[in-house]
């Protein structure tokens, strides 16, 4: 076999192998290798940073990932975890991966929308009824299609972990009806869909990196924020927020990102170890996240938060008010992709 053919075969075989390895638990991959890969397993240190704390299911998932990588590589691949935005916020860490200065981060998909607008479909409100539907769509062809857009941005996606269903907290008053959003200063992720959805509900949205949220709430720069219950609990937002409204208005995924500059230096064997560990740790993290989100509600009530549910009728009203924003972004993102999203959700519901 000619030398160049070996390279072509390796570069075509690896993604196929990784795709086979990546089913379930956030499986799937956008792994492509454009350079001759090394062989075997070398001693490597892998810097992996996230925005959430070690005690959050995302932190526990990263710890599990590090253990699995060490086990699978005979201790040669060492993952160094950095929690609580020690290496910077989601955007900064993602840029560090693109520059080859950091190897792994696991942000929400929302801050990536400035780079890959199609990820905006996961910021549409009230798309999923439960985590099972979300996992099925993310681990299916649509989730894979979006992972394949990452290599063009010097990123490799090894699958999806779970941030979860987002709920509103604030320091002013309970939010039980659509009109209750009026005038509330709400921190949003740096994402136009979120920002315009809260605007049309009558709130006053302020986009901000997650690492700045607690101090903005404490200083009353903003009245409220929205995040999954496990995040609200892990970051002690209950200490500066009196009201929790269980809106479950958006399901946010995490995407497991690897620097493509780093990935392309790895051997097929090393790539397969990272892919398998990302999927196995993803399954573990999702299970932990679902359990922790259930437990966090009781813990936040016990910590003194005044908790209210939002009726289906009121959610329908919010959906109606937000509809023009969704129509606008459906056109910007691509109506075919939006149709594919809802078709995949229907498939998952059967």
Contact set with ligand KDG (CB under 6 A): 50-52, 90, 107-108, 163, 189, 210, 227, 231, 252
- How many degrees, rounded to 5, is the angle at CA 104 between CA 116 and CA 344? 45
Which one, 48 or 325, has the nearer CB to ligand KDG? 48
Which one, 102 or 108, has the nearer CB to ligand KDG? 108
Residue 220 DSSP SS3: coil
Which one, 90 or 133, has the nearer CB to ligand KDG? 90
Tell the smallest beta-carbon distance from residue 92 to ligand KDG (Å). 11
Tell the smallest beta-carbon distance from residue 346 to ligand KDG (Å). 27
Interacting residues of 48 by C-beta distance below 8 A, sequence separation 6+ = 62, 65, 66, 79, 80, 81, 82, 103, 104, 105, 106
Which one, 195 or 266, has the nearer CB to ligand KDG? 195
Q: Give the largest Cα separation in the chain, rounded.
A: 71
**Taking phi first (over 0 means left), then psi (-120 to 50 degrees means alpha), and beta for anything else, what does residue 28 get?**
left
Q: What would the DSSP string read from start to end of 249-297? A: --EEEEEEEEEHHHHTTS-HHHHHHHHHHHHHHHHHHHHHHHHHHHHHH
Interacting residues of 98 by C-beta distance below 8 A, sequence separation 6+ = 153, 154, 155, 259, 260
Which one, 73 or 225, has the nearer CB to ligand KDG? 225
Tell the smallest beta-carbon distance from residue 238 to ligand KDG (Å). 16
Q: How far apart are CA 154 and CA 257, in angstroms?
A: 10
Tell the smallest beta-carbon distance from residue 334 to ligand KDG (Å). 24
Which one, 88 or 268, has the nearer CB to ligand KDG? 88
Which one, 237 or 243, has the nearer CB to ligand KDG? 237
Tell the smallest beta-carbon distance from residue 271 to ligand KDG (Å). 24
Q: How far apart are CA 282 and CA 257, in angstroms?
A: 13
Tell the smallest beta-carbon distance from residue 52 to ligand KDG (Å). 5
Interacting residues of 169 by C-beta distance below 8 A, sequence separation 6+ = 224, 225, 226, 227, 232, 237, 238, 241, 243, 244, 245, 305
Q: How far apart are CA 277 and CA 22, in angstroms?
A: 10
Which one, 33 or 105, has the nearer CB to ligand KDG? 105
How do strand 104-105 and strand 44-49 relate by DSSP bridges? parallel
Tell the smallest beta-carbon distance from residue 73 to ligand KDG (Å). 25
Tell the smallest beta-carbon distance from residue 211 to ligand KDG (Å). 7
Interacting residues of 69 by C-beta distance below 8 A, sequence separation 6+ = 46, 77, 78, 79, 273, 274, 277
**Closest residue to ligand KDG using C-beta atoms:** 51
Tell the smallest beta-carbon distance from residue 111 to ligand KDG (Å). 7
> Where is 182: in which H helix or E strand?
none
Which one, 21 or 193, has the nearer CB to ligand KDG? 193
**Beta bridge partner(s), residue 46:** 79
């Amino acid at each position: 076999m000619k030398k160049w053919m070996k390279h072509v075969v390796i570069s075509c075989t690896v993604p196929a192998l990784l795709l086979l390895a990546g089913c379930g638990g956030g499986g799937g991959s956008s792994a492509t290798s454009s350079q001759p890969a090394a062989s075997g397993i070398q001693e490597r240190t892998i810097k992996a940073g996230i925005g959430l704390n070690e005690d959050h299911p995302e932190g526990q998932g990263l710890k599990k990932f590090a253990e699995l990588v060490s086990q699978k590589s005979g201790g040669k691949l060492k993952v160094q975890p950095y929690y609580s935005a020690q290496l910077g916020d989601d955007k900064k860490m993602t840029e560090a991966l693109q520059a080859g200065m950091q190897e792994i981060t696991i942000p929400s998909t929302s801050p990536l929308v400035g780079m890959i607008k199609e990820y905006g479909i996961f910021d549409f409100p009230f798309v999923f009824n439960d985590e099972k539907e979300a996992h099925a769509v993310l681990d299916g062809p649509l989730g894979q299609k979006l992972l394949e857009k990452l290599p063009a941005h010097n990123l490799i996606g090894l699958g999806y972990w779970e941030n979860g269903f987002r709920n509103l907290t604030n320091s002013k008053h309970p939010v039980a009806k659509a009109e209750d959003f009026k005038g509330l200063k709400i921190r949003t992720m740096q994402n136009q869909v979120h920002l315009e959805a809260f605007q049309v509900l009558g709130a006053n949205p302020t986009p901000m990196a997650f690492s700045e949220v607690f101090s903005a709430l404490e200083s009353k720069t903003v009245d409220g924020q929205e995040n999954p219950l496990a995040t609200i609990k892990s970051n002690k937002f209950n200490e500066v927020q009196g009201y929790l409204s269980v809106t479950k208005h958006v399901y946010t995924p995490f995407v497991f990102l690897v620097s493509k500059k780093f990935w392309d230096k790895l051997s097929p064997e090393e790539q397969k170890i990272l892919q398998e560990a990302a999927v196995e740790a993803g399954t573990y993290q999702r299970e932990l996240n679902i359990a922790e989100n259930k437990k966090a509600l009781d813990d936040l009530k016990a910590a003194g938060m005044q908790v209210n549910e939002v009726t289906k009728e009121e959610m329908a009203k919010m959906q109606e008010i937000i509809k023009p924003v969704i129509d606008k972004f459906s056109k910007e993102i691509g109506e075919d992709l939006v149709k594919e999203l809802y078709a995949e959700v229907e498939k998952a519901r059967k």
